[in-house]
A and B are shown apart, each in its own frame.
Chain A
Amino acid sequence: MEETNNMGSEEVKIQSLLDAFLGSRGPLKSSAAETSFHLDEDSLTAFAEGNLAERESVQVVDHLVQCGFCRHKTVELVRLSMEFEGVDRETNPLAASEPRKISEVLSGLLAKIFGPTSSDQVVFAHEEKKIEEDAATDEKKENDQ
């Protein structure tokens, strides 16, 4: 607890009492079970960045008072954001100058998860669609001929 400057002796006493009182409530242990939902990533981020519209904030604040689990997450997010303040705008200096295909970015990762496979066995949805479109175009050309 940090020192506060302008308090009278009674405020100092109530501060100490409050510290002991709030510390005795065990806020994290039962909170997840006591609340019926947790805040999603969008709401947590919006709160931590001070980006909530006024009419939503009451609901979010009330939830954070009740739910130690979500409150603790906001604390972690604020601390992380402070630690990474300087590097927030840095980009990857080693990145290629030309766009990498998604398949290149992800095929290695998927191989790690699903086991080794040849790159042409990894089929992505957007490529699948393109292949289907190409096949449909070819079929149409053949029919036209």
Chain B
Amino acid sequence: MHPPMVNEEFLSQFRPRIDALFNRCVENAPNYSVTSERFSASLNRSLAKFAAATPQPPTESETNEFLDLLQVDDLFIALACADGNERAWWEFDQQYRGYLERLARHLAKSDVDAQEVVDSVYVELYGTRFVDGERVSKFATYSGRGSLRGWLRTVIWHTLVDLHRASHDEVSLDEMTENVGEGAVHASLAEPIPGGEGELVDQIARSRYRTATFKSLETAFSQLDGHEKLLLLYYHVEQLKLREIARLAESEGSPLRRWFQRKMQSRSENPGSRIHESTVMRWLDKCYSKILQLFRTELSSTHELGEAEIEICLDLVSQDLTDDNIFRHLAV
């Protein structure tokens, strides 16, 4: 069912636009036998989901932006494949099988596993399950929000995780995602080694500063905007390299790119320019400056620390080099 603001009147405004997109697709692939109704129904479902993203109804320009972003030719072949069109399946097999096989070989531990993944994805794409007499194809869940190639990448990755899980029942999903692909997230760090008795007083003092530092960082981080938090998490937790973050922000439609370009006046003058590693570095620097200011304010106002004590807090990392992570025991 559509959310309240997505009614027939709303959808009918975009009917001519959707018809034009459909005609373009038919022109590019006349043998796919996708009907206008089928195509419109898929786009209407996507529009409904898009409209439900926030409580306010989308404006006309927002909706047009959304339609511009849809990969309608990819959606067209996916709909045709979901309906079992022979020509579309042949095109799909020609264009994507080699890519799927390479991806699977890259991610899987052996060629046998890779072939199993590709076979499994093909079966899922065709669909062997029937609901109300209709075959359910995985293609039906693709709505053209990203490229079909990108979507297939995600499907292959998920399938591999599922196959892995099936053969390792005792391993949690979170642990599994850490072991698939290259993204083994940093391992758990060692607990701090306790010092001797002579260091007790020093430790108590340091413990107070550690606690204040931890709590102030926590507060400062929570006050950042979501885009800033995500950037910092990608860099510090997921350990994405600057060039990888730049890749993530490469497209003009990237949320990170849009947000930081809006915030940093100098970049907004040339919004279509390429994002280099140095740009990401500037975004990070901006986040560090902001968090430093919030951190200082928090230490001084909430924890009532003076300037010299704030310096001690800032120096904690270099003073605690014996600990792998000075906050690990505080975070529990």
Contacts and interface: CB of A to CB of B under 8 A. Distances in A.
Interface of A: 1-2, 4-7, 10-11, 13-29, 31-32, 40-62, 64-65, 68-69, 71-84, 87-88, 90-93, 95, 98-102, 105-106, 109-110, 112-113, 124-126
Contacts of A29: 174
A25 B218 CA distance: 10
B226 A58 contact: yes
Most chain A CB neighbours (cut-off 10 Å) among B66, B150, B180, B252: B150
Contacts of A65: 226, 229-230, 233
9 contacts: A20-B317, A54-B62, A69-B177, A73-B157, A88-B99, A92-B94, A92-B98, A102-B86, A102-B89
B90 A41 contact: no
Given A69-B174, A81-B153, A46 B281 contact: no
Contact of B94 (A43, A48, A91): A91
Closest 3 CB pairs of A and B: A50-B251, A45-B146, A50-B254
B106 A80 contact: yes
A73 to B, nearest CB: 7
Contact of A41 (B151, B180, B217): B151
B288 A81 contact: no
Contacts of B301: none
Contact of A14 (B134, B135, B278, B292): B292
Interface in B231-276: 232-242, 244, 247-259
A23 B58 contact: no
B288 A18 contact: yes
A62 B196 CA distance: 44
A77 B141 contact: no
Contacts of A62: 226
Contacts of A55: 50, 53-54, 58, 62
Given A72-B178, A113-B123, A5 B150 contact: no
B142 interface: yes
B141 to A, nearest CB: 7
A26 B331 contact: yes
A44 B177 CA distance: 15
A64 B86 CA distance: 39
Interface stretch (B1-9, B14-22, B183-191): B183-191
A58 B54 contact: yes
Nearest to B236: A22
A27 B150 contact: no
Nearest to A3: B281
Contacts of B292: 10-11, 14
Contacts of B173: 32, 69
Contacts of B44: none
Contact of B182 (A6, A47, A56, A79): A79
Most chain A CB neighbours (cut-off 10 Å) among B85, B236, B240, B250: B236
Interface in B78-132: 83-87, 89-90, 93-95, 97-99, 102-103, 106-107, 119, 122-123, 126, 128, 130
Contacts of B315: 13
B285 interface: yes
A141 B131 CA distance: 32
Contact of B142 (A10, A42, A88): A42
A75 B289 CA distance: 25
A42 B178 contact: no
B174 to A, nearest CB: 5
A45 B154 contact: yes
Contacts of A90: 98-99
Contacts of A54: 62, 65, 255, 258
B101 to A, nearest CB: 8
Contacts of B87: 99
